[in-house]
Structure 1
Amino acid sequence: MTQTRQTPAAGSRLFSPTRLGPLDLPNRLVMAPLTRNRAGADGVPGEAMAAHYAQRASAGLIIAEGTTPNAVGQTYPRIPGIHTPEQTAGWRRVTDAVRAAGGRMFLQLQHGGRIGHPDTSGRIPLAPSAVALPEPLHTAAGLKDSVTPRAMTQEDIRSTIADFASAARSAVEAGFAGVEVHAANGMLVHQFLARNTNLRTDAWGGTVEGRIRFAVEVVRAVAEAVGPERTGVRISPGTNVNGIEEGDTGELYPALLAALAEWDPAYLHLVHADPDGPAFAGFRRAWPGTLIANPKLTREEAAADAGAARAERLLAEGADVIALGRGFIANPDLVERLRTGAPLNEFRPGFLMHVHGTEGYNDYPALPEVALVQGPGARG
């Protein structure tokens, strides 16, 4: 089933080229990182994942789904990893397929922290403090009550930072142009930022300076490992997803952005960006580099035009690049559909997560009459 929609204005900046880190992007539409649970039980990406991403290679950039830098950081079953040779080789098959189709990829590094379970990872999760996720979560044995994580020691913190750096090196080895540090949506880095999940009184908690330290140290380590031009950061200010309550968002993020800017990462990826809200303008003023905006969309907006109208407005308000999620899930050739005003496929939410086949994953049709024009690949 498809839906008719309006074409973006002629000459839209959505389809203009830009530069991001080591890449020349042919357009400003990024495929956002999307957890889909389609890796093997061992976290190795397989042929279905290679096909999925290659189908969407016309995106200006693909940021591949949250991928664990170590075993204890695993969130849900069938999440990919980047901490074993087999996982790195699996991702190499994915990036080779995308590159052959003319695409470019970053990899999101995601440590779940307290969002983990022994039934999935075989390990007690680690977090800034021993504060459990206040909701059940999907495990390899089905939906289970969350467990209380173990508060990280100084050694745990240092080894985890090192694991992020090692994962970044493995990602580049696997053919990614760079990596994105996931500091959003209630994952480990975000847990260090938030008052209700970081109850520490040492140098990694307490004050704003203490709570941003882990995020800054992870970004520093990754930037030193693979280069700041290959390092991105994703944040979700004010979100309460996964039980997060930051408590002092207005103080927290100016301090975080100022500290991160010293490392000059390739981009900042802002989740739930609203062109009508004062917060977006504030983040644009505060961030000196490339800003990727992931629009805040209602279901109706997402269904009507996959976020193109809001994307246009965000570009007008200062965003450099736009990240879209569900639009790319349902439309492997989303860029060309938006460019030409072609109808959009209907999104099927029942196949989004916690299912493992190719249905609702690789079976969304492309426009057979459209010859996709691919852009240049990575340089450097």
Structure 2
Amino acid sequence: MTDILFTPTTLGDIPLANRIVMAPMTRSRAPGNVPTPLMATYYGQRAGAGLIVTEGTSPSADGLGYITIPGLFSDAQVQGWRGVTEAVHAKGGRIVAQIMHTGRISHPDNTGGLPVVAPSAVAAQGQMFTAGGMKPLPVPEALTEAGIERVIGDFAAAARNAVAAGFDGIEIHGANGYLVTQFLAPNANRREDRWGGSAENRARFALAVLDASIAAIGGGRVGIRLSPGNPFNDIADPAVEETYTHLFRELGKRDFAYLHLLGPKLDFDVPGLAKRLSGARLILNGGYDRDRAEVDLAAGRAEAIAFGTGFLANPDLPERLRRRAPLNAPDSATFYGGDAKGYTDYPALAA
């Protein structure tokens, strides 16, 4: 019997040679927030994935939460990313840009002095690494109505820039406590206007970003990533099932490429609920090995499975999974920042 993991599929308008997805992983190797030739080498090495989702990439200067992460809001960034997409496509791969506005998980030192913005003026617990060292996360400025519309437009502009840079599509980062999640979570979103309060209002921003991105480049090239119940970056939602039931139902009214899910196990079946209410093609992420991936694919719980750290240390991860070969161990000291060490120097299998 053919292993499902290695069979082709399609997510929206994006054909995949296999169902192995490289999950987005921040590597902080874009000095000046511009992608480099070294990044093109890194992603090109991993083009055996059915789909690569890039590291989080900011749609605007005020979305640059972390030092030396890339953006998609300048001509230089578009040109830098073009080198990446060409390297991946030259090896037959597919790649989408993950568009990430970090919201309150940021610091003015990392945004060029621009204010840190969020749904409400509520600081997250924790610190941010800056060029001046670790600093407490600041109290953000609550976005005005005009500010919200501006950020939605920034996502759409980044989607258009992604296509100009040669990407096969985009993934909206609605997970892990960044801006989209901040709107969804009542502990970060204390607004009393149409963008806060009820589950319907808190989901409005995520849906508006999705709709604007679809209008910009077509739904067949737009995915979205969500992490229900994930407390990362000081997120809490006491009614998480209600929030995501509404959001999944609204997603079912839209035509887009895929829904990418990760997060902790909850007391309800998140992928099952998402599939039933949204009808979306699903990518599942979180602690998968080959055998567990095959089980969920065979059960129809997803169309593709995302692998994270495995891809970081194994540029040829799909081939290693196919052969059931040993995996390289990742070097956590080189995850963020630096040069080729721990980035492009992990060995591949012998042919």
**Are residue 124 (structure 1) and residue 115 (structure 2) matched?**
yes
Alignment of 1:295-374 (within 5 A): 295=286, 297=287, 307-317=289-299, 318-353=301-336, 355-369=337-351
Report the residue type matching 2:69 in the other structure.
I
Question: Is 1:273–1:280's contact at 8 Å kept on the other side of the alignment?
Answer: no
Provide, for residues 118-160 of structure 1, a one-character-per-residue CA deviation record: whole Å limited to 9, x for no partner: 1111222000000111011111221111111000000100000
C-alpha change, 1:193 and 1:277, in structure 2 (3 Å) is closer
Question: Is 1:219–1:260's contact at 8 Å kept on the other side of the alignment?
Answer: no
Which of 88, 96, 110 is the aligned partner of 2:78? 88
Question: C-alpha separation between the residues in 2 aligned to 1:27 and 1:326?
Answer: 19
Alignment of 1:163-178 (within 5 A): 163-178=154-169
Tell me, what secondary structure is at the counterpart of 1:72? helix
**Corresponding residue for residue 23 of structure 1:** 14
Question: C-alpha separation between the residues in 1 aligned to 2:173 and 2:289?
Answer: 22
Question: Is 1:181–1:233's contact at 8 Å kept on the other side of the alignment?
Answer: yes
Extract unaligned runs of 5+ from structure 1.
1-9, 298-305, 370-380
Question: Is 1:120–1:141's contact at 8 Å kept on the other side of the alignment?
Answer: no
Extract unaligned runs of 5+ from structure 2.
none
Q: When the two structures are superposed, what TM-score results if normalisation uses the length of structure 1?
A: 0.89
**Corresponding residue for residue 193 of structure 1:** 184
Tell me, what secondary structure is at the counterpart of 1:243? coil
Question: Is 1:61–1:105's contact at 8 Å kept on the other side of the alignment?
Answer: yes
**Corresponding residue for residue 255 of structure 1:** 246
C-alpha change, 1:282 and 1:71, in structure 2 (3 Å) is same
Question: C-alpha separation between the residues in 1 aligned to 2:224 and 2:338?
Answer: 28
Report the residue type matching 1:314 in the other structure.
D
C-alpha change, 1:274 and 1:314, in structure 2 (3 Å) is farther
C-alpha change, 1:128 and 1:120, in structure 2 (3 Å) is same
Provide, for residues 298-349 of structure 1, a one-character-per-residue CA deviation record: whole Å limited to 9, x for no partner: xxxxxxxx62222122213321100110011111000011101222111212
Following superposition, the deviation at residue 285 of structure 1 comes to 2.1
Question: Is 1:179–1:230's contact at 8 Å kept on the other side of the alignment?
Answer: yes
Alignment of 1:1-380 (within 5 A): 11-40=2-31, 42-121=32-111, 122-272=113-263, 278-295=269-286, 297=287, 307-317=289-299, 318-353=301-336, 355-369=337-351
Question: C-alpha separation between the residues in 2 aligned to 1:140 and 1:133?
Answer: 20
Question: C-alpha separation between the residues in 2 aligned to 1:279 and 1:153?
Answer: 32
Larger RCO (CA under 8 A, 6+ residues apart): 1
Tell me, what secondary structure is at the counterpart of 2:33? coil
Tell me, what secondary structure is at the counterpart of 2:171? strand
Report the residue type matching 2:25 in the other structure.
L
Report the residue type matching 1:157 in the other structure.
I
Query: Quick one: percent identity of the two aligned structures?
Result: 48
Q: When the two structures are superposed, what TM-score results if normalisation uses the length of structure 2?
A: 0.96
Question: C-alpha separation between the residues in 1 aligned to 2:155 and 2:270?
Answer: 29
Question: Is 2:251–2:278's contact at 8 Å kept on the other side of the alignment?
Answer: no
Question: C-alpha separation between the residues in 1 aligned to 2:92 and 2:49?
Answer: 10
Question: C-alpha separation between the residues in 1 aligned to 2:264 and 2:19?
Answer: 16
